[in-house]
Amino acid sequence: MKNQNIRLTQMVTSAGCAAKLFPFLLSDLLKDINWFSNDNVIIGFDCCDDAGVYKINDNYALIHTTDFFTPVVDDPYTFGMIAAANSLSDVYAMGGTPMNALNIVAYPQKEDLSILKEILRGGNDKAKEAGCVIIGGHTVDASNIIYGLAVTGYVIPKNIKSNFTSQPGDRLILTKALGTGVLNNCIKYDKLDEDIYNELVNSMTRLNKYASDCMLKINANACTDITGFGLAGHSMQMAKASNVVFHISVYELPILSGAITAIEKKMLTRADKSNRIYTQEYVINEGNIDEKLEHLLYDPQTSGGLLISVDSNDTKILLQELHNAGDESARIIGYVEDSSKYKAGTIVFHF
């Protein structure tokens, strides 16, 4: 590369999934449009699910998703891997297999183009790990660097894992540790210890493929991935869609090393506030609130883990399968209840 000292995070205004439009604004934007559909659409806008699913026949359906964002790390190759892993995640959350993808690129062409080449190389290598072929893409000359993928996957319709089939009595398992938002802000505005940085990068570059394989093996009831709307936002969407209530034990949450220190340093993202606004009518806190841990509930995750709703009888088996597959951070974090006591979509955080 021509310029070894360039810092990607300094070339953009906000980092990763924290750069999303505020979720409450997005909801308002989408709701008044009469979206065209047909009988082949199995999953569309209705449930705020992770991806769209289009039925080809009784044995075959296509999963379509796209995700892209600004750099969360300074190394171009690493950023490419993270962006690709994040883009592929929605297919895995639906229980599907990625087939092919298109690159989505915004890059200031006045800058060193060898940097962009490294971003694309990182994305290609991560897609290759997933067995997903990148077959094209689109670029624009823009001041903010953006990279991601539009991914097509496939799934047998009966095997789809949606976010609207969580059942009362299920247990909730989270497969990756929380804290990527505040730690990514440390990269941009402060610094990270090498060991903490490596743990963060390993988490963000890890495909959810392995967790998805375990989920399918056990035949879990429902799933979503935790990304820009944080644990609170994506949990609320899943609970609302399933017409249930989630109870989550805050002290059971897996947390990335250094995340609490980052919160103490006030390395909060703008999404900390917007995700609180988005979920405020559905969140109940019980116990003495630990404000540092509370921030993690709203922290936007970049390439976060899967939140899996599984029958209580299969919980320990699934957890062991996840650990054996390499998702060592996976933990049981709560349970599902019917909506007789609280309105559907409520998340009860137990401190």
- 194-205 helix and 76-93 helix, angle to the nearest 10 degrees: 40
Q: How far, in Å, CA of 68 to CA of 120, rounded?
A: 13
> Cα(219)–Cα(95) distance, rounded to whole angstroms?
10
Token pair 């799934």: residue: 155
List of residues 6+ apart from 181 with CB closer than 8 A: 16, 17, 18, 230, 268, 269, 271, 272, 299, 300, 301, 302
Which residues are bridge partners to 336 per DSSP? Answer: 246
Distance CA 251, CA 106 (A): 40
- d(CA 225, CA 308) in angstroms, rounded, equals 8
Tally Cβ neighbours within 10 Å of residue 340: 7
> Does residue 134 contact residue 123 with C-beta atoms inside 8 Å?
yes
Structure tokens at 35: 């979206």
CA-angle at 192, arms to 103 and 18, nearest 5°:
45
Structure-block tokens of residue 155:
């799934």
Catalytic residues: 17
Q: Which residues pair with 150 in a beta bridge?
A: 66, 102
Spell out the residues 6+ positions from residue 117 whose beta carbon is closer than 8 angstroms to its own.
Answer: none
For residue 98, give the H/E element and its range: strand 97-107
d(C-alpha 92, C-alpha 160), whole Å? 10
Distance CA 73, CA 6 (A): 11
